[in-house]
Amino acid sequence: MIVRLKEGKLERFKAESEVVIVGGGTAGVSAAIAAGRLGKSVILIERYPFLGGTATAAMVGPTATFHTKKGRQIVGGIPNEIVESLVQNGDSLGHVPDTIGVAGSVTPIDPDAMKLMLLQFAKSAGVKMLFHALVNEVETKHDRVVAIQAISKDGPVRIEGKIFVDASGDGDLAALANVPYTVGEGKALPQPMTLIFKVANVKLDEVIKYMLENRNEFWHGTTFDKLKTAPAIGVSGFTTLWKEAQARGELNGIPRDRALFFSGVRPGEVTVNTTRVIQKNALNPWELSEAEQEGRAQVGPLLRFFRKYIPGFKDCYLAQVATQIGVRETRLMQGEYRLSAQDVIDGRKFDDGIAQCAWPIDIHHQGEGLTLSTDVGGDGAYDIPYRCLLPDGISNLLLSGRNISVSHEAFASSRIQATSMAVGQASGTAAALSLNRSGAVREVAVSVLRDTLVKNGALL
């Protein structure tokens, strides 16, 4: 079957390149840098006027995780280069202990500095960027994507390519190309959304003092002995203060059981990950609009709660609210292999592994309940097989970042930023290598792909 884009206005802004990447989140940028560095022409299309996606537009952090719980580094390459450059500029604290005790390390970064750094990396790899453009149509011929269309203020933009990478986070391009997917799995709904906000002027020593004196109010894995020395802290708890405020009706409409927040790169700065919007589908524009409103409506009551009851927050002020609500999960695309919960729990290795992940299965409740956390087994990390990047039915398209082929539970682990970026680097590298075979992604020799990744710093 041949599906053609409408002719006409499309000619005005048309472009072409060897590699076309949809989505400039951390995964899409890593893919673009990898393909650009391998000498390929790359166009990266992003609906916002900046890069970073969930990590910057939704202000999600700290970046996780570059290490297993036992401290073995499992992500290197482009993601690690980006972190090192941020550290040099004073815009990241580098890899620091996770005081919530969920992971081997977390990596606090400044989201605005991240936008600038990603741009710098992409430009120096020769990537051409199309901003303010939302990909909304695809032209396919048999099992190949021929061109895509993005919508701009002054009409459509047609972009032709030889190989396409879907790093939209939601699998937009793959879905347009009729790759099968589910939203949720069985009875499990996609995870809830969270609008992140940042407050400043917090006295962390008061937070730590309360934590040390009231240990049973905090996440069971909390590493209390590290709180005073860690360069940054993560906090999951204050459950008694939360319950009391809830009983007084001060937290109505916020379906949670605790506060969750992380200290940031600058002194006194805290990123709050405590809003929760449940039972909404982020692919439905009306429900997403309601979610944005609900998320913003929760900021006021939370700020009052923090200032009034949480030690150290009395004089804090609202420093920034994320541009958009953080969307954890939408489409689960179907690829040649669908990573399962058991693969994560077993810490499974694959011959075609192209990235590693050490984050637990971390499922935020679709109600007030506790976040579920199931550790990675084996040696503490599992492989992402290349086959998870190969979408059913299309021969010149790669899935990347959080929209690779995984089950709902496996997704709750693999979605994490360090792994999304490592997968991004792998997808950009595979895209470049596939050009010797006219973009046929299934003909890429996995041994060559793995060797190229390792040569460029990836840890496999």
Ligand X SMILES: Cc1cc2nc3c(=O)[nH]c(=O)nc-3n(C[C@H](O)[C@H](O)[C@H](O)COP(=O)(O)OP(=O)(O)OC[C@H]3O[C@@H](n4cnc5c(N)ncnc54)[C@H](O)[C@@H]3O)c2cc1C
Contact residues for ligand X (CB under 6 A)?
22-28, 45-48, 53-55, 58, 60-64, 134-135, 167-170, 172, 194, 273, 326-328, 401-402, 415-417, 420
By beta carbon distance, the residue nearest ligand X is: 25
For helices 417-434 and 446-455, the axis angle rounded to 10 degrees is 120
Q: How far is the CB of 425 from ligand X (least distance, A)?
A: 12
Whether 218 contacts 233, CB under 8 Å = no
Q: How far is the CB of 440 from ligand X (least distance, A)?
A: 24
299 vs 311, which CB is nearer to ligand X?
299
Q: Which residues lie closer than 8 Å to 108 by C-beta, 6 or more apart?
A: 61, 62, 63, 92, 93, 96, 232, 262, 263, 264, 265
25 vs 264, which CB is nearer to ligand X?
25
41 vs 417, which CB is nearer to ligand X?
417
Q: How far is the CB of 322 from ligand X (least distance, A)?
A: 9
Task: Let me know how long the chain is.
Answer: 460
170 vs 217, which CB is nearer to ligand X?
170
Q: How far is the CB of 421 from ligand X (least distance, A)?
A: 8
Whether 257 contacts 238, CB under 8 Å = no
> Tokens at residue 51, please?
């890069």
* Per-residue CA distances from 150 to 101, 137, 165, 406 (Å): 42, 7, 14, 27
Q: How far is the CB of 393 from ligand X (least distance, A)?
A: 19
Q: How far is the CB of 75 from ligand X (least distance, A)?
A: 11
Whether 184 contacts 283, CB under 8 Å = no
Whether 76 contacts 458, CB under 8 Å = yes
> Tokens at residue 288, please?
């997403």
23 vs 347, which CB is nearer to ligand X?
23
CA distance 425 to 27: 7
Q: Please report how many Cα atoms fall inside a 13 Å half-sphere around the Cα of residue 221, on the Cβ side.
A: 17
134 vs 341, which CB is nearer to ligand X?
134
